[in-house]
Every structure is written in structure tokens, then in C-alpha cells.
Amino acid sequence: MAFDNHDKIPVAYATPSLGMHPSPTLELKLEAASKAGFQGVEIGFDDLVSHADRHNPGFKGEEDLPTLLKSASEISRDLCSKLHLEIICLQPFQDFEGATETKEREARFAKAKKYLAIMNNLGTTMLQVGSTDNTSTSGDKELRVIWPSCAILQRRRIRHVKSLTSHGVGAHI
């Protein structure tokens, strides 16, 4: 389910805000959001990883993209659709901006492509791109690194990015 304009963004709650302790599973968080009357959720990447770990023996962690994609589909199809929740965002995509080394920048774009695949399986078109507190990054390179990512997003028909820059400015791209 994807929304076409900002006037129709559903009232949503971020799953990390419903607890970061292991006891509130993603299933419990989604049920709580639905019962509270929320129409949508922002899925936290850590919640996705936790879900994949609990439901997939042999899960190899954050780099196990096939299992993360399987879990993302299950979350969208089996959990959220039954609770009438729209997944409006995957969050957070951290430490993307300001890489000064080519190798580091390439690794960040590879990570972005992984997140885009997960977003596709979740059925969302919004990604929260948070600012970095990594001291090895350069403030003057931030925009040069983040804006080329928009071309990647456009090619994949991702229309919305919730961006929080290090200057504290939020924007939808």
C-alpha cells in the first residue's frame, strides 16, 4: 500500500517507539498500534531484524538479505494487512551522508540498495534517512552524497524520503 500525496498520509506510530526491550515483539507492537486506532506504522529496522531472528532458524543477522526480505513480506502480508495497518516508512537509515572515502561511499550506496529491496517487500515508498554523528564524515560533502541517492530512488519509483539532516531540517524528497 503506498500513498500518493502528503495529504493522505495515515496517522502512524513508529514501532521502535513502542519499546526496544525484546519482550514487546513486533507482533505485540503492531497489535497495540492497531488497537490504539493508528492507521499506519513506521517499521524500525531493528524490529525487522528481531522478527527475522525469531521466525527463521539459521538467520545470519543484518546481512542476511534473503531472510530479511522474507520477513518483510510476512510483516506486510501476514501482520499489517490483517490488522489494517499501512506501512508508511522503513526507518532509520543511518550514517549515509558525508563519506569522504570512495570505498565508504560505495558501501553506503550498497546498503541503500538493500534497504530499497526491503522497502519493496514491506510495500512502502518512504525511507527515513537520519543524520550522522560519525566523526569521520565531512559536513561539506553531505549534500553531494545524499542527493545522488535521489536518482536511485527515482529509478525504483520511491517517491518519498523522510530526511533528517545534521542541520535538524526535515524534508520529503
Return the pLDDT at 69: 97
Alpha helices in 75-129 (DSSP H): 102-122
Distances in whole angstroms, Cα of residue 133 to Cα of each of 11, 37, 56, 147, 149: 29, 35, 33, 19, 19
Min mean pLDDT across 7-21, 24-38, 54-68 is at: 7-21
In a domain? residue 119: yes
In a domain? residue 19: yes
Looking at residues 32-50, what average pLDDT do you find?
95
- Cα separation of 96 and 93, whole Å? 7
Residue 132 pLDDT > 50, yes or no? Answer: yes
More confident residue, 162 or 173: 162
Return the pLDDT at 143: 45
In a domain? residue 4: no
In a domain? residue 89: yes
In a domain? residue 140: no
44 is in which domain, residue-wise? 11-104+115-134+156-172
Per-residue pLDDT band at 51 (split at 50, 70, 90): very high
| Total structural domains within the chain | 1
* SS3 call for 42: strand
Looking at residues 27-56, what average pLDDT do you find?
95
In a domain? residue 67: yes
